[in-house]
Amino acid sequence: MLKLKIVLLFCLPILLFSQNEKLSAEKLKQDLTIFKEIREKANSGLYKYRTKQQIDSIYSWALKQLNKPKELIEFYKIILQITDFEGSLHNDTTLPDDFEKQYSSGNVFFPYPVKLIEDKLIVNFQNNEILLGSQILSINGIKTKKLLSSFHKYYTTDGYNITGKSIGIGSSFAKYFEMEYGSKKKFVVEYSLPNKTEKIIKTVSGISNDSRKENFKKRHSLPIDSLQYGTIKGKYAFKVISPNIGLLTINTFAIGRNAKDKEHLIYKKFLDSCFQYLSKNSQIKNLIVDVRNNGGGTDPNDILTFSYLTQKSYRENSSAYVNFQEIPFPEYLVYEETEPQKKQEEKKDFEDELKEEFPRLENGKYYQDEKFNPLLQPNPNNFKGQIYLLISPRIASAGSLFASLVAGNTKAIVIGEETMGGYFGHNGHTPIEYELPNTKIKTQFSIVSLDQDVPEKSNQIFGRGIIPDHAVKQTFEDFMQNKDTQLEYTLKLIEPK
């Protein structure tokens, strides 16, 4: 399976936009048309969750918004609405770097980190103005419900999933607010104190982007959610937490770049030692597999790990295809190389790999050769006891593929919250990036549409993430005390057995 991130660079003169500069309707319409044509030709997941009629309809809506000149940020929001509508967590659309730096200058950011707890927007920072744990009801007269729904387009998830958007909101609430409602020096906050209903109104001052980042690093929930954001240092661990319970934690599958990578080989030895131990210690009849912080990574870490948890043969996916063998619209690609000859070589190498892995043309789609998706066998030391799989909205990409295989193909009891990554499939593996000629907005998406090797289940809905057997969210009380609600629930579930 192609796993290289192809970020191809198209060198055009750098175009700097001032914050209030408006682009002509003609140029914006041209970029919108190019954006649509690129996705129709290159994006195999365009109609995964939406019909052609639905996709055409949102583009018709977008075109109607461009009847007069607009600022870049307004056009960007329209493009975001479209990419979010498609339903792929691997979609990523970004402003030109110089514009974003300029736009995000000054003391214009909401000062406090927040977190969604029990579907309420909670202050997640110890401060002297608005008490930690207070519930935000509105900001600048905008009710919380409207705020949150307006932010959904800034953080893409698979299919129709909503829970995963809480990850983006938790990390970038202040940034989303500035993007959506403009730069503000003051914020009028309507809130209620913890476990109170009385409404309080207070005006707080904006802070700089650097201060926003520093406050986030000092958020109250850091001990419980540090692994959901930023670089993960403790990638995996195993421990025996009681005479009959083991805990395997896998925080990422970004463990080496391929099967020959030294880091991957070390991980493989780690898994061998863990499951040999479990095989020899038969009194450990319960294994908790915690992937709540796993946002993905690379093959074969995900499918290798699954080999220790299944007793049946399996594949990574039931089918996979791409839309092309020769990259469409190469004039808008973003290349790594700068020299024309090297760019052509890079492009050819990539296309040769596509032709090798996806050789079969059927109904306009190029399907994966079976040698890249072989039938795999369980590891001889596979665990034969009861598996408890802990999931969360953070789980995506290779993390959700692994969790789907476990949830669908074993007798695991799944506990936690719906994942942002799809149960039945997703678009992934090979990202590609384009730059629009007039606005310089970059758009990235993954080109491989795949169906995961999972069965239909009564609680699994097409277009949704993995649905837990036991839906368990962190309670407000546990948030205040930084307790692990899902793990404590799982241990109590095991106790009577």
- Residue 470 dihedral angles phi and psi, to the nearest 5°: -120, 105
* Secondary structure (3-state) at 479: helix
pLDDT band at 19 (very low <50, low <70, confident <90, very high): low
Token pair, residue 116, equals 């969604």
Q: Are 295 and 399 in contact (CB under 8 A)?
A: yes
H or E segment to which residue 362 belongs: strand 360-362
Do 194 and 258 lie in a common domain? no
Q: What is the pLDDT of residues 48-64, one digit of tens each?
A: 999 999 999 999 999 99
Domain of residue 320, residue span:
236-494
pLDDT of residue 17: 54
Nearest to 1 by CA among 463, 401, 433: 401
Q: Are 225 and 169 in contact (CB under 8 A)?
A: no
pLDDT band at 219 (very low <50, low <70, confident <90, very high): very high
Asked whether residue 51 is assigned to any structural domain, the reply reads yes
Residue 488 pLDDT exceeds 90: yes
pLDDT band at 232 (very low <50, low <70, confident <90, very high): confident
Q: What share of the chain is helix, strand, coil (3-state, %, to 5)?
A: 35, 20, 45
pLDDT of residue 342: 87
Label residue 413 left, alpha or beta by phi (over 0 means left) and psi (-120 to 50 means alpha): beta
pTM of the model as a whole = 0.93
Do 481 and 401 lie in a common domain? yes
Asked whether residue 307 is assigned to any structural domain, the reply reads yes
Q: What is the pLDDT of residues 429-438, one digit of tens each?
A: 999 999 999 9
Residue ending a domain, choose from 169, 188, 220: 220
Task: Quote the number of domains for the chain.
Answer: 3
Mean pLDDT of the chain: 94
Residue 4 pLDDT exceeds 80: no
Asked whether residue 109 is assigned to any structural domain, the reply reads no
Dist. CA 255–CA 265, nearest whole Å: 9
Dist. CA 296–CA 343, nearest whole Å: 29
Do 283 and 425 lie in a common domain? yes
pLDDT band at 104 (very low <50, low <70, confident <90, very high): confident
pLDDT of residue 235: 96
Residue 297 pLDDT exceeds 90: yes
Asked whether residue 228 is assigned to any structural domain, the reply reads no
pLDDT band at 2 (very low <50, low <70, confident <90, very high): very low
Residue ending a domain, choose from 187, 220, 253: 220
Do 133 and 86 lie in a common domain? no
Dist. CA 421–CA 412, nearest whole Å: 18
Asked whether residue 475 is assigned to any structural domain, the reply reads yes
Do 152 and 289 lie in a common domain? no
Do 393 and 277 lie in a common domain? yes
Do 176 and 33 lie in a common domain? no
Asked whether residue 272 is assigned to any structural domain, the reply reads yes
* Averaged pLDDT, 465-477: 97
Do 430 and 483 lie in a common domain? yes
Dist. CA 268–CA 262, nearest whole Å: 10
Tell me which of 356 and 7 has the higher pLDDT: 356
Do 284 and 396 lie in a common domain? yes
Asked whether residue 134 is assigned to any structural domain, the reply reads yes
CA 141 to chain centre: 30
DSSP H stretches of helix in 218-306: 222-225, 262-280, 301-306
Residue ending a domain, choose from 220, 246, 273: 220
Asked whether residue 9 is assigned to any structural domain, the reply reads no
Do 34 and 121 lie in a common domain? no
Helix-then-strand count for the chain, H and E = 14, 20
Do 387 and 338 lie in a common domain? yes
Do 438 and 398 lie in a common domain? yes
pLDDT band at 18 (very low <50, low <70, confident <90, very high): low
Q: What is the pLDDT of residues 261-284, one digit of tens each?
A: 999 999 999 999 999 999 999 999
We report the CATH number of the domain holding residue 321 as 3.90.226.10
Q: What is the pLDDT of residues 110-150, one digit of tens each?
A: 999 999 999 999 999 999 999 999 999 999 999 999 999 99
Q: Are 235 and 305 in contact (CB under 8 A)?
A: no
